[in-house]
Structure 1
Amino acid sequence: MITSALYFFQEKLLFLPSTLEQNYQYEFNHNFEELFLETEENTTINTLHFKVENPKGVILYFHGNAGDLSRWGTIAESFLDMKYDVLIMDYRTYGKSTGKLSEEGFYRDAQFCYDFLLNHYSENQITLYGRSLGTGIAAYVASKNNPKQLILETPYYSILDVAKGRFPILPVKQLLKYHFPTYQFLPKSNCPITIIHGTEDRIVPYESAEKLLELKLENLEFVTVEGGGHNDLILFEDYRNIIYACLK
């Protein structure tokens, strides 16, 4: 019974979107443009493009597995204060975005957003930033392109690795349709990689991220935030210091 439930309801366990009416009006403290990117037939990705005067570059931000842009858009504000433009997308079925959920679909949409930015910025101005679920997606894009850098906040070795820890007695490798193998993407990424993870993370265990050190990548910096959880790293000086160093 548990095995069947995991297989048939895994999308409801992994993805926790909230939806918005198509005429919903976003309100933020900074200038932004709302975009609808038709990435493929029957798939439209809602994005917000925040802009500042004389930006140092642009951050392509991939958010976590819950909510929508009405919540995640506020994340852009701290980056804007550091003089970076930000493009942040809602995944398929999130917010106003449409399309059928699939791991490959996530990757295609992410690459489409990257290609969109290439029409407005040089590649060495693009910083990829992934948080939680978005870390695997950001790592994928980094493996296929040559951005300035990749920043991963609370990443996982793979979704499969997290699932094995959560359901140790189940054959999750056979059941899981979504793997997001970050460990496969990082060795193919030539840019500087910064990983930030808290030791008290109860959603994505610190140990899952720590396994990425076993890849022994010379371009990877791993920052441990002692006592940091999944949603509170911004409260810690170690997190703020490394973000400032990456985006100075």
Structure 2
Amino acid sequence: DRKDKGTEGYCSSSYTMEIIFFTQTCVWWRLRRLFLALMLLYVFIPVIVKLCPSIQAKLVFLNFVRVPYFIDLKRPLDQGLNHTHNFYLEPEPGVRVGVWHTVPAHMWRDAQNKDGHWFESSLGSAQSAILYLHGNAGTSLPAGAALTAVLFQVLSALGFHVIAFDYRGWGDSDGSPSELSMTSDALFIYHWLKVRLNKAPLYVWGHSLGTGVATNVVRRLCDRDSPPDALILESPFTNIREEAKSHPFSMVYRFLPGFDWFFLDTISANDIYFASDDNVNHISCPVLILHAEDDAVVPFHLGKKLYHAASRSQSLSGHKVQFVPFDSSLSYKHKFIYRSPELAHILRY
């Protein structure tokens, strides 16, 4: 009996070991297949991007990402902006872009139930105005409706008229984006606004990718000897190649041999440069740079590097160039600088 029991125990133990071995083998093969699949995908993505450069352009603009998605841009009131008017302009025949005009806070009562003619006429008595150029991934509400509504309310409370619009291909604007079209759209809106302001100060404010558009626009204005009263760059970068290399999305490929050839050269092949570090050598108006130290999307060091380039610019000699950092303890990150209680003082200064 003892012998039978011993044999039975041995068989049971052997059977258990076989199950464990079989299970481990299956897990190993699954992990191996998963690893091979991930490696193929890792190699496949750069090849596809190189073969189809338009994919890289979409990744730069991200205009197909609309946050929040279910929003009626014709109704800024839904976002808490009860003194904002939505309308449309045509930078060129057949291309319509959506525009928001927020009047200063002290005019909110007068703005109720007013039509587009009233809003446009109000620019004639404006004390100052801001042309706001948003970043990628969305609409003229780059940080989401609630966040940007707060920014516009802050600027409105400071007495600014704020004009924000969606470049072609964003929001409910027609067309598809390119660096050239974004710049030409912004120039068109700038001139439309300028002729209605009756010599009131006009400032160009760009955020994130919009800073690249802003420096493009201001460079062209300065080339025509008609600079804006100031250029404000929030979370800016030096140029799109350096930003792409520093972006969190590039982290897994950053050390891949041929990274520049696969990804950065492909961006250039789409005629996308946003070379703010070069543009500042042709700008002749005051420049204010705002950047949070804990910005993970556009790293702080790129904003600082752009500031140093602007400080050395001959064309900016004699113009105020200011860099305002925001400590990481404030957690302003990429799009919350509007929360700063010092913002009003900074802008007035």
Normalised by the length of structure 1, the TM-score is 0.88
Runs of 4+ in 1 over 6 A off after TM superposition: 19-23
Matched residues in 1 for 2:99 and 2:150: separation?
Answer: 13
**Cα deviation, residue 118, structure 1:** 1.4
Residue matched to 1:131: 207
Matched residues in 2 for 1:119 and 1:41: separation?
Answer: 20
Output one character per residue of 1:124-159: Cα deviation in whole Å (capped at 9) or x when no partner: 610111111111111112112211111111000011
1:68 aligns with 2:111: no
Output one character per residue of 1:59-100: Cα deviation in whole Å (capped at 9) or x when no partner: 000112122246245531111101110100112222111112
**Cα deviation, residue 12, structure 1:** 3.2
Letter in 2 for 1:58: A
Residue matched to 1:12: 58
Letter in 1 for 2:83: N
**Closer, same or farther in 2 for the Cα pair 1:234/1:104, shift >3 Å?**
same
Structure 1 residue matching 2:204: 3-state secondary structure: strand
Matched residues in 2 for 1:124 and 1:187: separation?
Answer: 26
Residue matched to 1:153: 234
Matched residues in 2 for 1:30 and 1:184: separation?
Answer: 40
Structure 2 residue matching 1:157: 3-state secondary structure: coil
Q: Is the 8 A contact 2:73 2:86 kept in 1?
A: no
1:186 is matched with which residue: 254, 263, 280?
280
**Cα deviation, residue 22, structure 1:** 7.9
Residue matched to 1:36: 88
Q: Is the 8 A contact 1:47 1:87 kept in 2?
A: yes
**Closer, same or farther in 2 for the Cα pair 1:125/1:232, shift >3 Å?**
same
Normalised by the length of structure 2, the TM-score is 0.64
**Closer, same or farther in 2 for the Cα pair 1:147/1:194, shift >3 Å?**
same
Q: Is the 8 A contact 1:62 1:131 kept in 2?
A: yes
Output one character per residue of 1:23-54: Cα deviation in whole Å (capped at 9) or x when no partner: 84331434222221111133211001112346
Structure 2 residue matching 1:195: 3-state secondary structure: strand
1:84 aligns with 2:155: no
Structure 1 residue matching 2:342: 3-state secondary structure: helix
Q: Is the 8 A contact 1:124 1:148 kept in 2?
A: no
Residue matched to 1:164: 245
1:26 is matched with which residue: 76, 90, 93?
76
The gaps in structure 1 that reach 5 residues or longer are none
Residue matched to 1:102: 178
Letter in 1 for 2:95: T
Structure 1 residue matching 2:174: 3-state secondary structure: coil
Q: Which moved more, 1:77-86 or 1:210-219?
A: 210-219
**Closer, same or farther in 2 for the Cα pair 1:200/1:24, shift >3 Å?**
same
Matched residues in 1 for 2:281 and 2:200: separation?
Answer: 19
**Cα deviation, residue 195, structure 1:** 0.5
- The count of corresponding residues between Structure 1 and Structure 2 is 245
**Closer, same or farther in 2 for the Cα pair 1:10/1:187, shift >3 Å?**
same
Structure 2 residue matching 1:86: 3-state secondary structure: strand
2:197 is matched with which residue: 121, 137, 157?
121
Between Structure 1 and Structure 2, which shows a larger proportion of helix residues?
Answer: 2
**Closer, same or farther in 2 for the Cα pair 1:21/1:198, shift >3 Å?**
closer
Over alpha carbons, which structure has the higher Rg?
Answer: 2
2:327 is matched with which residue: 223, 226, 230?
226
Q: Which moved more, 1:149-158 or 1:55-64?
A: 55-64
Matched residues in 2 for 1:21 and 1:242: separation?
Answer: 28
Letter in 2 for 1:163: A
**Cα deviation, residue 181, structure 1:** 0.8
